[in-house]
Amino acid sequence: MKKNIEKHLTLRERILETIRDAIIKGALKPGEKVAEPELAERFGISRTPIREAFRQLESEGYLTVIPRKGAVVTAFSQKDVEEFYAIKSILEGYAARRACENLSPKEVEKLEAINSKLQQLADIADVKQFFKVHNDFHDLFIKAASNEKLSEMIDSLVSRFQRLRLASLSLPGRMKISVEEHAKIIDAFRKKNPAMAEKLVRKNAEYGGRVLVEGGNPSAAFKTSQRSAMLHMDL
Protein backbone atom coordinates (compact mmCIF):
# COMPACT_ATOMS: atom_id res chain seq x y z
CA MET A 1 0.00 0.00 0.00
CA LYS A 2 2.78 2.43 0.95
CA LYS A 3 4.60 1.80 -2.35
CA ASN A 4 1.39 2.46 -4.29
CA ILE A 5 0.88 5.74 -2.45
CA GLU A 6 4.48 6.82 -3.08
CA LYS A 7 4.16 5.88 -6.75
CA HIS A 8 0.90 7.84 -6.99
CA LEU A 9 2.43 10.93 -5.36
CA THR A 10 5.50 10.73 -7.59
CA LEU A 11 3.33 10.51 -10.69
CA ARG A 12 1.20 13.39 -9.50
CA GLU A 13 4.30 15.52 -9.02
CA ARG A 14 5.47 14.63 -12.52
CA ILE A 15 2.15 15.82 -13.93
CA LEU A 16 2.34 19.01 -11.89
CA GLU A 17 5.89 19.75 -13.02
CA THR A 18 5.09 18.98 -16.67
CA ILE A 19 2.20 21.45 -16.76
CA ARG A 20 3.97 24.10 -14.67
CA ASP A 21 7.02 23.99 -16.94
CA ALA A 22 4.91 24.17 -20.08
CA ILE A 23 3.09 27.26 -18.79
CA ILE A 24 6.20 29.03 -17.48
CA LYS A 25 8.11 28.38 -20.72
CA GLY A 26 5.16 29.48 -22.85
CA ALA A 27 4.46 26.13 -24.48
CA LEU A 28 0.96 26.46 -23.02
CA LYS A 29 -0.48 29.94 -23.56
CA PRO A 30 -3.02 31.84 -21.40
CA GLY A 31 -6.51 30.68 -22.32
CA GLU A 32 -5.27 27.45 -23.92
CA LYS A 33 -7.03 24.24 -22.93
CA VAL A 34 -5.09 21.54 -21.08
CA ALA A 35 -6.56 18.25 -22.26
CA GLU A 36 -7.09 15.40 -19.81
CA PRO A 37 -7.13 12.65 -22.51
CA GLU A 38 -3.72 13.68 -23.86
CA LEU A 39 -2.16 13.66 -20.39
CA ALA A 40 -3.81 10.35 -19.53
CA GLU A 41 -2.33 8.81 -22.68
CA ARG A 42 1.08 10.38 -22.13
CA PHE A 43 1.43 9.08 -18.56
CA GLY A 44 -0.55 5.89 -19.09
CA ILE A 45 -2.93 6.58 -16.21
CA SER A 46 -6.57 7.22 -15.43
CA ARG A 47 -7.93 10.76 -15.27
CA THR A 48 -8.28 10.76 -11.47
CA PRO A 49 -4.69 11.80 -10.61
CA ILE A 50 -4.81 14.31 -13.47
CA ARG A 51 -7.89 15.95 -12.01
CA GLU A 52 -6.18 16.04 -8.61
CA ALA A 53 -3.20 17.76 -10.22
CA PHE A 54 -5.53 20.23 -11.95
CA ARG A 55 -7.06 21.19 -8.58
CA GLN A 56 -3.59 21.80 -7.16
CA LEU A 57 -2.54 23.88 -10.17
CA GLU A 58 -5.75 25.88 -9.95
CA SER A 59 -4.98 26.73 -6.33
CA GLU A 60 -1.53 27.95 -7.44
CA GLY A 61 -2.92 30.18 -10.19
CA TYR A 62 -1.74 28.13 -13.16
CA LEU A 63 -5.09 26.77 -14.34
CA THR A 64 -8.76 27.69 -14.26
CA VAL A 65 -11.09 24.69 -14.21
CA ILE A 66 -14.37 25.43 -15.99
CA PRO A 67 -17.29 23.05 -15.29
CA ARG A 68 -18.11 20.82 -18.29
CA LYS A 69 -15.36 22.48 -20.32
CA GLY A 70 -12.17 21.39 -18.60
CA ALA A 71 -9.01 23.23 -17.57
CA VAL A 72 -7.49 26.23 -19.31
CA VAL A 73 -4.31 28.19 -18.58
CA THR A 74 -5.19 31.12 -16.35
CA ALA A 75 -4.71 34.54 -17.88
CA PHE A 76 -3.47 37.30 -15.55
CA SER A 77 -3.97 40.93 -16.50
CA GLN A 78 -1.60 43.77 -15.61
CA LYS A 79 -4.18 44.81 -13.01
CA ASP A 80 -4.04 41.34 -11.44
CA VAL A 81 -0.25 41.55 -11.18
CA GLU A 82 -0.26 45.06 -9.73
CA GLU A 83 -2.96 44.27 -7.18
CA PHE A 84 -1.32 41.06 -6.00
CA TYR A 85 2.08 42.62 -5.44
CA ALA A 86 0.59 45.74 -3.85
CA ILE A 87 -1.21 43.64 -1.24
CA LYS A 88 1.79 41.33 -0.80
CA SER A 89 4.09 44.28 -0.16
CA ILE A 90 1.80 45.71 2.52
CA LEU A 91 1.25 42.42 4.35
CA GLU A 92 4.85 41.20 4.22
CA GLY A 93 6.16 44.67 5.03
CA TYR A 94 4.07 44.71 8.19
CA ALA A 95 5.25 41.19 9.02
CA ALA A 96 8.87 42.35 8.68
CA ARG A 97 8.23 45.31 11.02
CA ARG A 98 6.74 43.00 13.64
CA ALA A 99 9.44 40.37 13.14
CA CYS A 100 12.13 42.94 13.90
CA GLU A 101 11.00 42.95 17.53
CA ASN A 102 11.08 39.15 17.83
CA LEU A 103 13.88 37.71 15.70
CA SER A 104 16.63 36.14 17.81
CA PRO A 105 20.33 36.32 16.80
CA LYS A 106 20.13 32.62 15.91
CA GLU A 107 17.16 33.25 13.59
CA VAL A 108 19.02 36.11 11.91
CA GLU A 109 21.94 33.72 11.37
CA LYS A 110 19.52 31.24 9.82
CA LEU A 111 18.29 33.94 7.43
CA GLU A 112 21.91 34.56 6.44
CA ALA A 113 22.44 30.84 5.82
CA ILE A 114 19.32 30.69 3.67
CA ASN A 115 20.47 33.69 1.66
CA SER A 116 23.90 32.10 1.15
CA LYS A 117 22.15 29.06 -0.27
CA LEU A 118 20.11 31.33 -2.52
CA GLN A 119 23.32 32.91 -3.81
CA GLN A 120 24.64 29.47 -4.74
CA LEU A 121 21.40 28.61 -6.53
CA ALA A 122 21.40 31.95 -8.37
CA ASP A 123 24.96 31.25 -9.54
CA ILE A 124 23.87 28.01 -11.21
CA ALA A 125 20.49 29.45 -12.33
CA ASP A 126 18.45 26.77 -10.52
CA VAL A 127 15.23 28.74 -10.38
CA LYS A 128 13.01 25.89 -9.14
CA GLN A 129 15.14 25.20 -6.07
CA PHE A 130 15.71 28.94 -5.63
CA PHE A 131 11.93 29.41 -5.47
CA LYS A 132 11.60 26.80 -2.72
CA VAL A 133 14.45 28.17 -0.59
CA HIS A 134 13.24 31.73 -1.24
CA ASN A 135 9.95 30.73 0.36
CA ASP A 136 11.87 29.51 3.44
CA PHE A 137 13.43 32.97 3.82
CA HIS A 138 10.08 34.74 3.83
CA ASP A 139 8.36 32.08 5.94
CA LEU A 140 10.94 32.51 8.69
CA PHE A 141 10.43 36.21 9.29
CA ILE A 142 6.67 36.01 8.71
CA LYS A 143 6.48 33.36 11.43
CA ALA A 144 8.61 35.57 13.68
CA ALA A 145 5.95 38.29 13.42
CA SER A 146 3.90 36.09 15.79
CA ASN A 147 0.59 36.99 14.17
CA GLU A 148 -1.30 33.88 13.14
CA LYS A 149 -4.01 35.72 11.21
CA LEU A 150 -1.42 37.72 9.27
CA SER A 151 0.48 34.53 8.44
CA GLU A 152 -2.72 32.86 7.21
CA MET A 153 -3.59 35.85 5.03
CA ILE A 154 -0.15 35.93 3.42
CA ASP A 155 -0.12 32.16 2.86
CA SER A 156 -3.59 32.24 1.27
CA LEU A 157 -2.61 35.12 -1.00
CA VAL A 158 0.78 33.89 -2.22
CA SER A 159 -0.41 30.30 -2.76
CA ARG A 160 -2.93 31.56 -5.34
CA PHE A 161 -0.25 33.47 -7.26
CA GLN A 162 2.69 31.06 -7.22
CA ARG A 163 2.85 31.21 -10.98
CA LEU A 164 3.49 34.97 -10.96
CA ARG A 165 6.19 34.68 -8.32
CA LEU A 166 8.00 31.89 -10.16
CA ALA A 167 7.72 33.77 -13.46
CA SER A 168 9.24 36.85 -11.83
CA LEU A 169 12.17 34.92 -10.34
CA SER A 170 12.77 33.20 -13.70
CA LEU A 171 13.65 36.45 -15.46
CA PRO A 172 17.33 37.17 -16.19
CA GLY A 173 19.11 38.84 -13.26
CA ARG A 174 16.09 38.57 -10.97
CA MET A 175 17.56 35.99 -8.57
CA LYS A 176 20.78 37.98 -8.14
CA ILE A 177 18.88 41.15 -7.20
CA SER A 178 16.69 39.15 -4.81
CA VAL A 179 19.79 37.90 -2.94
CA GLU A 180 21.16 41.45 -2.72
CA GLU A 181 17.89 42.77 -1.35
CA HIS A 182 17.67 39.95 1.17
CA ALA A 183 21.11 40.93 2.50
CA LYS A 184 19.83 44.46 3.17
CA ILE A 185 16.73 43.10 4.87
CA ILE A 186 18.87 40.87 7.10
CA ASP A 187 20.99 43.88 8.06
CA ALA A 188 17.85 45.77 9.09
CA PHE A 189 16.76 42.81 11.20
CA ARG A 190 20.20 42.60 12.82
CA LYS A 191 20.11 46.30 13.67
CA LYS A 192 16.55 46.01 15.02
CA ASN A 193 15.36 48.71 12.63
CA PRO A 194 11.66 47.93 12.00
CA ALA A 195 11.04 50.93 9.72
CA MET A 196 13.92 49.98 7.45
CA ALA A 197 12.95 46.29 7.45
CA GLU A 198 9.40 47.15 6.39
CA LYS A 199 10.57 49.57 3.70
CA LEU A 200 13.01 47.04 2.21
CA VAL A 201 10.53 44.16 2.19
CA ARG A 202 7.91 46.35 0.55
CA LYS A 203 10.41 47.49 -2.08
CA ASN A 204 11.41 43.89 -2.77
CA ALA A 205 7.79 42.85 -3.29
CA GLU A 206 7.02 45.87 -5.47
CA TYR A 207 10.02 45.05 -7.62
CA GLY A 208 8.77 41.49 -8.09
CA GLY A 209 5.58 42.81 -9.68
CA ARG A 210 7.21 45.66 -11.57
CA VAL A 211 9.60 43.35 -13.40
CA LEU A 212 6.62 41.46 -14.84
CA VAL A 213 4.66 44.59 -15.75
CA GLU A 214 7.65 46.17 -17.50
CA GLY A 215 8.17 43.24 -19.82
CA GLY A 216 10.87 41.37 -17.94
CA ASN A 217 13.47 44.14 -17.68
CA PRO A 218 14.99 43.64 -14.19
CA SER A 219 17.17 46.77 -14.30
CA ALA A 220 14.34 49.11 -15.28
CA ALA A 221 12.00 47.49 -12.78
CA PHE A 222 14.53 47.73 -9.98
CA LYS A 223 15.07 51.45 -10.60
CA THR A 224 11.31 51.98 -10.53
CA SER A 225 10.98 50.08 -7.25
CA GLN A 226 13.80 52.17 -5.77
CA ARG A 227 11.94 55.36 -6.66
CA SER A 228 8.78 53.90 -5.18
CA ALA A 229 10.61 52.98 -1.97
CA MET A 230 11.62 56.61 -1.51
CA LEU A 231 7.94 57.41 -1.06
CA HIS A 232 7.86 55.06 1.96
CA MET A 233 10.86 56.50 3.82
CA ASP A 234 8.60 57.57 6.67
CA LEU A 235 7.31 54.03 7.28
Q: Which residue ranges form the domains of the chain, and what is each CATH number?
A: 2-73 (1.10.10.10), 78-230 (1.20.120.530)
Over residues 155-166, the pLDDT tens digits come to 999 988 888 888
40 - beta bridge partners? none
Helix/strand/coil percentages in the chain, nearest 5: 75, 5, 20
Report the alpha-carbon angle 44-50-35, nearest 5.
Answer: 85
Over residues 13-39, the pLDDT tens digits come to 888 888 888 888 778 888 999 988 888
- For residue 1, pLDDT over 80 is answered with no
